[in-house]
Amino acid sequence: MDPLILPRTGDREKVEKLLKIFRVVGLIGVRQCGKTTLAKSFPSGPYFDLENPRDLVRFDNPRIALEEAEGLIIIDEIQRRPEIFPLLRHLVDNKPKQKYMVLGSASVNLIRQSSESLAGRIGYHHLGGFAPWDVGAKSWKTLWLRGGLPPAFLAADDEASFLWRSNYIATFLERDVPQFGFQIPAASLRRFWTMLAHYHGQVLNYAELGRSFGMSDMTVRKYAEILAGALMVRILQPWHENVGKRLVKKPKVYLRDSGLFHSLMMIENENDLDSHNKLGASWEGFALDCVCRSVGLDDASFFFRSTHAGAEIDLVWRKHGKLWGVEFKFADAPRITASLHSSLRDLSPAHVWIVYPGKERYRLDEKVTALPLVDISGEWRYGG
């Protein structure tokens, strides 16, 4: 299947909005998530790929390469030349016929450098892999198993997808991490990433993980932050509100891409997944990522809520001045649990949805709705 037939309308619309507001748009995402394909779908002027040796040489003197260009100028793999951000500021301030779309692998340093140089001039769109609204309702199970990276999802079969993802993980560790400026042995980080996968959907105890891995709490935190900054891992912080309850104060951890999670857990096909003890956690992580992307807020806006007495909501956020929540259940007909009842009393959210793999949407309570995953769109719809 050609990825060009999957138009990614939601992502395109968000980038179009940014282009109307900002002179520079940063399209940030992990390698092979589809940044170049999306960027090239826009009418543009010159296109520079800084992994192409010819274009890289031209950027030895970037002013000459860019000064006379007009229209939307695309610079791919911008992380190879982060020193050009001050030049881009000068050009967009003095060349009214220029706009830029810069594409880069996810990196905290890249975002910091571009934000400092282009303050007020750049807007970001974080591009993930394919989402359910990209691939269609009939393909969500394949998306869950293989993940959203286009070559993994579009592979000829599950075996080919698993092989591609295994090589992708190795390349990320051996090539991408050093480019981010971290000199960590690939074998050590892979072992840590695999151990982190066993915590997928659980509260992350740095001290416990450090003991298991034989390293200090600070080193564990550093490794986790590297993977989070590279958009490979989501660290979900707990919701803190003074309600007279003993709240869980440690974060939860999720691997963002379900396909990479399955590769690290050696889950190769649907039969492996259906019989695996991480089936429920895998569903929770996959559905949670879909909801977060459809809501469209930045990562720091999402939380989970859990008390030591067991009252939980898997995901909460504020929007329109109200609190909203989502639970994730791998069940045919989910119901309101005692845990959710307790959280409804404590937090009084505007509404809570229970996202499940079924086909019917139905009310469970005035403030609770069972919502099929396939009903999640690229833009979250508030209300029941």
Which of the four pLDDT bands, split at 50, 70 and 90, describes residue 26?
A: very high
- For the chain, the average pLDDT equals 89
What amino acid is encoded at 147 in this protein?
Answer: G
According to DSSP, residue 245 is labeled S
Instruction: State the pLDDT at residue 310.
Output: 63
Residues 6+ apart with CB under 8 A from 362: 369, 370
pLDDT at 109 over 80: no
pTM of the model: 0.91
Instruction: State the pLDDT at residue 79.
Output: 85
Which of the four pLDDT bands, split at 50, 70 and 90, describes residue 350?
A: very high
Q: What is the three-class DSSP state of 365?
A: strand
Helices (H), the chain: 9-21, 35-40, 53-58, 62-66, 85-94, 108-117, 132-135, 140-146, 150-153, 158-171, 177-179, 186-197, 206-213, 217-229, 258-264, 270-274, 279-295, 338-347
Instruction: State the pLDDT at residue 364.
Output: 93
Domains in the chain, CATH or no CATH each: 3-126 (3.40.50.300), 132-375 (1.10.10.10)
> Cβ(384)–Cβ(351) under 8 Å?
yes
Q: What is the three-class DSSP state of 104?
A: strand
Query: Phi and psi at residue 152, in whole multiples of 5°?
Result: -75, -45
Q: Which of 106-115, 137-146, 279-288, 333-342 has the lowest mean pLDDT?
A: 106-115
Instruction: State the pLDDT at residue 173.
Output: 87
> Per mean pLDDT, which of 121-125, 140-144, 193-197 is the most reliable?
140-144
Sheet holding 351-356, edge to edge: 202-203, 252-255, 233-238, 303-306, 312-319, 322-328, 351-356, 368-372, 362-365
In the predicted model, what is the mean pLDDT of residues 29-58? 91
Q: Which of 121-125, 174-178, 317-321, 328-332 has the lowest mean pLDDT?
A: 174-178
**CA–CA gap between residue 73 and residue 68 (Å, rounded):** 11
According to DSSP, residue 333 is labeled S
Of residues 138 and 4, more confidence is placed in: 138
Instruction: State the pLDDT at residue 131.
Output: 94
Joined together, the tokens standing for residue 132 give 């359910």
Instruction: State the pLDDT at residue 246.
Output: 57
244-287 residue pLDDT tens: 555 567 899 999 999 999 999 999 999 999 999 999 999 999 99
Instruction: State the pLDDT at residue 74.
Output: 96
Query: Phi and psi at residue 170, in whole multiples of 5°?
Result: -65, -45
> Cβ(43)–Cβ(15) under 8 Å?
no
Angle at 76 between CA 70 and CA 80, to 5 degrees: 120
182-237 residue pLDDT tens: 778 888 888 889 999 999 999 988 888 888 888 888 888 888 888 898 899 999 99
In the predicted model, what is the mean pLDDT of residues 355-368? 93
pLDDT at 297 over 90: no
**CA–CA gap between residue 311 and residue 47 (Å, rounded):** 52
Taking Cα atoms as reference points, which of 206, 324, 194, 336 lies closest to residue 265?
194
In the predicted model, what is the mean pLDDT of residues 4-32? 89
Instruction: State the pLDDT at residue 384.
Output: 61
Instruction: State the pLDDT at residue 230.
Output: 87
In the predicted model, what is the mean pLDDT of residues 110-121? 82
pLDDT at 129 over 90: yes
Instruction: State the pLDDT at residue 14.
Output: 93
Which of the four pLDDT bands, split at 50, 70 and 90, describes residue 367?
A: very high
Instruction: State the pLDDT at residue 250.
Output: 87
Torsion angle defined by CA atoms of residues 158, 159, 161 and 166, in that order, rounded to the nearest 10 degrees: 140
**CA–CA gap between residue 217 and residue 211 (Å, rounded):** 8
> Cβ(177)–Cβ(188) under 8 Å?
no
pLDDT at 319 over 70: yes
Other CB atoms within a 10 A radius of the CB of residue 104 amount to 23
Helix, strand, coil percentages, rounded to 5, for the chain: 45, 20, 35
> Per mean pLDDT, which of 113-117, 173-177, 302-306 is the most reliable?
302-306
Distances (CA, A) of 368 to 124, 152, 238, 347: 33, 35, 21, 13
Taking Cα atoms as reference points, which of 259, 79, 260, 262 lies closest to residue 176?
79
**CA–CA gap between residue 379 and residue 294 (Å, rounded):** 5
Which of the four pLDDT bands, split at 50, 70 and 90, describes residue 3?
A: very low
